[in-house]
Chain A
Amino acid sequence: MSAPSPASAVQSALARDKLGTLSLLHFSLTAATPLTVIAGGVVVMFAVAGQIGIPIGYVIIAASLLLFSVGYTAMARHIANAGAMYAFVARGLGRVPGVAAAWVAATSYCALQVSLYGYLGYVAQSLFASIGLDLPWWAFALVAWLLVGLLGTRAVDINAKVLAVLLTVEVAVVLVFSASNFANAADGVSFGAFSPTALSGEAAGAVLALAVIGFIGFESPTVYGEEARDRKRTVARATIATVLILAFIYIVSSWSIITAAGDDNVVAAATADFDLMFSLAGDQLGSTWETIGRILLLTSVTAAALSFHNTTARYLFALGREQVVFSWLGRTSVRTCAPVAASVTQTVAGGLVIVLWAVLGLDPVVHLFYYLGTASGIGLIALILTCAIAVLVYFARDRREESLWASRIAPVLAILAMGGVLYLSVIHFHTLLGVEKGSLLPKLVPIVFAVLALLGALWALFLKRARPDVYAGIGHGAKAPLVQAAERAAVPVGAAGDR
């Protein structure tokens, strides 16, 4: 888009309506739920990894995602439907890999969202049991599922306001707890957690995979690329700021837990008590703060479920509009314009999983939250890596006036970094799941994603032969009907001549 001309009343009015960096930051940060990541992820990472190198794990992932963000936001300036990573793959590597990536992405986001109902059920069960209300985990999970399902079919704007309030309170509590941990250091403030040797062996892959999940949502500012005040800078600034802010919160809070428990004791303490974060707060600040933390954790997990519900619904909606999957997924609510069919589909998937897990008597934390959550983490890391390769290939064809750093160097470094993270995550996946090396489950997850990608690719090849107009619109999201119409008229978009 050309720069607004001072003489243009329309361009000036449109410019006034554009979103600035802070607005985009608001959207991306409300997709993150730090308390869930720290209370539900960081403490578990100490227990699973058996090491104290969690902060250095976050440093590594933050650096990798920052490198990825450079090329990712540069490419977002040149493509439509920049909110979905599969669109980057479709435009960089081709439509067949694009559909393969879309299937993996939709499944991963869906699985991640559904996994949160397990943790939510567990957290609510523990909280309400303390006040004498003893109900099974799935009863609480179903209540939250209903709430998320209802909010998901409303306008996203309402959800964003709810999420913003929750995020502000969450961050405040995390910072209070962290400050308290540093003020009550067991052996003084230690920098041992930042030593490269603090994260090694088979635990490294597990820690890195879990760390990536905490940042999911960082990619969302590109959704608003066309509404950004300065498409060249605003989206990039918001994306990078999101990664930096989340990294700061995760690094400081995980470091503070080590400081409070002591370098030598934190692993044993986390293994013995998954609620270590709140136990520390209870000891240091009193039981009121501990209760506040637990209540906020419940709202935080609910917010995380809602946030990922919206992300998944947007993915399914875009795919429905492209007619890459069922076209009815592209239907909107008349009154609110929310992607209602996609939202209801995600709700149905979540409900089925909760009921199935309850009927089979499976553990909500281990079998739902950890297994599904970490499996989706593998899918999302593979998606980010594929997207980084797509960015490099896209700019290899034409640099489009982007700098050497954004178009070549940063994407190569991001591929190396994310490739390493994926390799370690896959080969150490048994550690993540807490099962024996060589058992079936850790092998099954990469196989499932590979099969999904293969099926997606085959479906794209079918579309290419049977429905070339639909095939032409792949990766264009909301604008797919325009591309499809041009394809049906056998005329490239914008080349129809005078009308």
Chain B
Amino acid sequence: MPDAPTPRLVYDAFLITAYHDFYKPAVAPRVIGLGLGAALLAELVFSGQLAVRSHAGRDLVIAESRGGPPRDSLGLWLTELVQSEPEHLAVPEWLEYLAIADTQTKTADHMVVAGLMVRGEQRSRWLGKVQVTYDAADALIAQAPLARLRRYLSSMDRRMPLLDAFLLALTESVGLSKSLYSQMPAGAREYAEGHLRVLPAPLQAIRGHLTAAVADTAITGNL
């Protein structure tokens, strides 16, 4: 059963970026890694286990003690990594690392434990290799995060919670603006922009570096 309270930002980010359905494609593999890394960092900043501080022109990720140790293995893994680094590393370096550290599989495995995903194995007919697949345990739950964001944008009748506002920023940054704003009423973008503009500085920094990393990926073609 889940070892962390749900729903979590990183789970929602996984379902938005990596889950493919009729209404929304999955993004490129490297962008999934960057998006999940940003979500995990933001989640730990929000819960007080990490902080982002500017120093000499760099946005450094620093371990914080005010939130206590994370209660789940995913958060604990990253927090311990941050603590074990001899020097503080900047947000772009952590995003880069999390993109190559197979955060997608780690998150998917975690979601299997949480009962949100089902792990499967497929044997390749030609190569004989076993490929691990992850499918949503419930398609409606898999669509829920994006549907929730779209509900905010279509009704525009109340303020979004902070983490949902960050999830919206993340959805835009990974290139899913079309899925987000398609058939939304006039004023939806202004409503969203109003929320994004007042994101706390650490989340703004993570959002900005995620956007830049995705653009770098497009320029270099490093997928």
Q: A481-B211, A481-B212 are in contact. Are A160 and B219 (CB under 8 A)?
A: no
For window 288-330 of A, CB contacts with B under 8 Å fall at 314, 317-318, 321, 330
For chain B, give the interface size range.
35 or more
The distance from the CB of A336 to the nearest CB of chain B, in whole angstroms, is: 6
CA distance A2 to B85 in the complex (A): 13
**In the complex, what residue of chain A is closest to B27 when comparing beta carbons?**
A334
10 tightest CB-CB pairs across the interface, nearest first?
A156-B221, A494-B57, A478-B215, A337-B28, A499-B201, A482-B208, A499-B202, A478-B216, A479-B212, A332-B218
Per-residue CB contact flags for chain B residues 65-90 toward chain A (1 = under 8 Å, else 0) read 00000000000000001001111010
CA distance A11 to B97 in the complex (A): 8
**In the complex, what residue of chain A is closest to B34 when comparing beta carbons?**
A337
Per-residue CB contact flags for chain B residues 15-31 toward chain A (1 = under 8 Å, else 0) read 00000000001111011
Interface flag for B133 (CB, 8 Å): no
Q: A494-B58, A497-B54 are in contact. Are A227 and B222 (CB under 8 A)?
A: yes
Interface flag for B138 (CB, 8 Å): no
Residues of B within 8 A of A485 (CB): 204, 208
Per-residue CB contact flags for chain A residues 390-415 toward chain B (1 = under 8 Å, else 0) read 00000000000000000000000000
Q: Evaluate contact between B221 and A9: CB separation under 8 angstroms.
A: no
Interface flag for B205 (CB, 8 Å): yes
The distance from the CB of A96 to the nearest CB of chain B, in whole angstroms, is: 24
Q: Evaluate contact between B176 and A334: CB separation under 8 angstroms.
A: yes
Residue pairs across A and B with Cβ atoms less than 8 A apart, 25 shown, are: A7-B86, A8-B86, A10-B85, A13-B97, A13-B100, A17-B100, A156-B221, A159-B221, A224-B220, A227-B222, A318-B215, A334-B27, A335-B25, A336-B28, A337-B28, A337-B214, A337-B218, A339-B219, A479-B212, A481-B208, A485-B204, A494-B54, A498-B54, A499-B51, A499-B201
Interface flag for B223 (CB, 8 Å): yes
For window 320-377 of A, CB contacts with B under 8 Å fall at 321, 330-339
Interface centre among B84, B85, B221 (most CB of A within 10 A): B221
Interface flag for B139 (CB, 8 Å): no
Q: Evaluate contact between B26 and A317: CB separation under 8 angstroms.
A: no
Q: Evaluate contact between B202 and A330: CB separation under 8 angstroms.
A: no
Interface flag for A475 (CB, 8 Å): no
Per-residue CB contact flags for chain B residues 183-223 toward chain A (1 = under 8 Å, else 0) read 00000000000000000111011001101111111111111
Q: Evaluate contact between B85 and A8: CB separation under 8 angstroms.
A: yes
Q: Evaluate contact between A338 and B221: CB separation under 8 angstroms.
A: yes
CA distance A83 to B215 in the complex (A): 13
Q: Evaluate contact between A482 and B220: CB separation under 8 angstroms.
A: no
Interface flag for A276 (CB, 8 Å): no
Q: Evaluate contact between B209 and A482: CB separation under 8 angstroms.
A: yes
Q: Evaluate contact between A10 and B218: CB separation under 8 angstroms.
A: no
Residues of B within 8 A of A13 (CB): 97, 100-101
Q: Evaluate contact between B57 and A493: CB separation under 8 angstroms.
A: yes
Q: Evaluate contact between B219 and A223: CB separation under 8 angstroms.
A: yes
Residues of B within 8 A of A156 (CB): 220-221, 223
The distance from the CB of B56 to the nearest CB of chain A, in whole angstroms, is: 7
Residues of A within 8 A of B220 (CB): 156, 223-224, 227
Residues of A within 8 A of B3 (CB): none
Interface flag for B181 (CB, 8 Å): no
Q: Evaluate contact between A498 and B53: CB separation under 8 angstroms.
A: yes
Q: Evaluate contact between B215 and A2: CB separation under 8 angstroms.
A: no
CA distance A330 to B216 in the complex (A): 11
Interface flag for A436 (CB, 8 Å): no
Interface flag for B94 (CB, 8 Å): yes
CA distance A182 to B174 in the complex (A): 55
Q: A7-B86, A13-B100 are in contact. Are A157 and B221 (CB under 8 A)?
A: yes
Interface flag for A133 (CB, 8 Å): no
5 other contacts beyond A224-B222, A314-B219, A334-B179, with CB at 8 A cut-off?
A: A318-B215, A337-B28, A479-B212, A481-B211, A498-B54
